[in-house]
Structure 1
């Protein structure tokens, strides 16, 4: 007679699979108020360069210790460059610059709204035919962004408008990287590519920081070393390694919905750390964007259910 699993063992095992992803979401959510703290000491470009430079170093050490360090192949290099320049470098530089004008909670919500770009770009660039549910998800996301951006446009607060425009540019940069990866689905980038992606992001950021801001204040950098350790080695290198390993074993819908926790947690922590007011427009906008993410994630499953009837 085979031994039966104890009651509750299956749910506990299922929860264990999600724990690393939950931890990553918590770290990324906390990254937004932490980045705001770092910007009080160094420029956005230097902050971004320090973030990815430190992440590149620690990921080399970690993957080297795991004996998983290797150079990208010829097929992987274009995707590595795309992720490094767009998803990491451009996204972070624009987001950090925007944090000078937009509160971190609101900034995290707008920056993570990649759905406003991904589905239209998929149709335009990849020739995909999104379902009605996917277009509905995009409409929810557009409505959410409109609700969040409208107050700034109504009062024409120039700095806030600039910040929100940068955040939309950051989400666009990430979305273009997503489209590039989807166009080359035969090539999958694993955690062993993170050192090279971070290095690709670091080089242009470092050159831009030197050209625009000059030599950094070493004293200021010494003051924010805990912030750099959080944003670089922890919130970039180690978290990306964990997320890439975990998401390959989880359904895409679960991952997409879980990632919605990043701006939500960023908003809540920003309210505590920076006394950011969670206004009605921000709450409604986040809810609409969240509805868009959930609709996108569940669209394939709902489509199959409809077709089977």
Structure 2
């Protein structure tokens, strides 16, 4: 077998593992939040995962040293890519369904496209407008199930999910230049710094009951630590190494789709024509946005 087709096959296999691993994490987070508060749960899992990633990087002889000039960018990326992405997204799960949260959060490529207009001086095109319209229409369709009659909790969840997507997109646009560090070391430091801040805030303000976790909660916690923040980062790097960036990014649209299906199976969340139509519209807009990157 030629090297190129084999690389693509392995790349798509790694992409599938990454998407499935990250997707299943959404309903398991929802289960874990029934026992532990969000910042503490996600922060503790992330700190543990960062130590594991750091050990893997050290074992593969990747330098964990942070160049002095990279410190401000690393801290900013830790806020946008971890603290906002994981922290806000996890808190949002207390107020919205997995389908609502995942679909809003995965509009991030649309916001990145919009941020590129002022920061990268890119003029909007018909494709840009179509992507925005499709994305907003899909989210509006999903959230309009009850005639847009939102209580305070739902509004908080929507706001956090939207903030998560927007801040992550802003970080991607402003941090387009890679940090001068090995990729695994970058992830280990970002996850460690962002999740350590979550953990400290969780201990101080959420006052978790450490003994409240059940065996199913422990299983969810172990999964969240090892798979989405461990195995999936490794398979994602392998995906990026073997597939074109647009193919890899577009393939990640499987995550919200699989998350909604998993939430329907595990949490008995709704999955009907409205949800399917909303995903089709929103992810259609996201696909258009990704094709430009």
TM over 0.5, yes or no? yes
Cα drift, residue 210 of structure 1: 2.2
**Counterpart for residue 220 of structure 1:** 212
**Counterpart for residue 18 of structure 1:** 12
**Counterpart for residue 112 of structure 1:** 106
User: Does the C-alpha gap of structure 1 residues 284 and 188 become closer, same or farther in structure 2, counting only changes over 3 Å?
Assistant: farther
Counterpart check, 1:261 vs 2:258 = no
**Counterpart for residue 229 of structure 1:** 222
Which one scores higher on RCO, CA 8 angstroms, separation ≥ 6? Answer: 2
Counterpart check, 1:162 vs 2:156 = yes
Q: Which has the larger radius of gyration?
A: 1
**Counterpart for residue 145 of structure 2:** 151
**Counterpart for residue 273 of structure 1:** 266
1:221-253 CA deviation, whole Å, 9 max, x = no partner? 574332222112221133223313421442122
User: Where does the alignment leave 5 or more consecutive residues of structure 2 unmatched?
Assistant: none
**Counterpart for residue 245 of structure 2:** 252
Deviates more, 1:80-89 or 1:129-138: 129-138
1:139-175 CA deviation, whole Å, 9 max, x = no partner? 2212222222233562233322221121111111211
Counterparts of 1:186-197 in structure 2, within 5 Å, are 190-197=183-190
User: Where does the alignment leave 5 or more consecutive residues of structure 1 unmatched?
Assistant: 301-309
Aligned residue for 1:40, secondary structure, equals: coil
Cα drift, residue 199 of structure 1: 1.6
CA distance in 1, matches of 2:60, 2:120: 37
The count of corresponding residues between Structure 1 and Structure 2 is 292
Q: TM-score, normalised by structure 2?
A: 0.90
Cα drift, residue 204 of structure 1: 1.6
**Counterpart for residue 29 of structure 1:** 23
Q: TM-score, normalised by structure 1?
A: 0.86
Aligned residue for 1:276, secondary structure, equals: coil
Aligned residue for 1:100, secondary structure, equals: coil
Match of 2:199 among 189, 202, 206: 206
Q: Is the 8 A contact 1:152 1:161 kept in 2?
A: no
Q: Give the RMSD, CA atoms, in angstroms.
A: 2.3
Match of 2:133 among 126, 139, 157: 139
Aligned structure 1 segments of 4 or more residues deviating by more than 4 angstroms:
9-13, 185-189
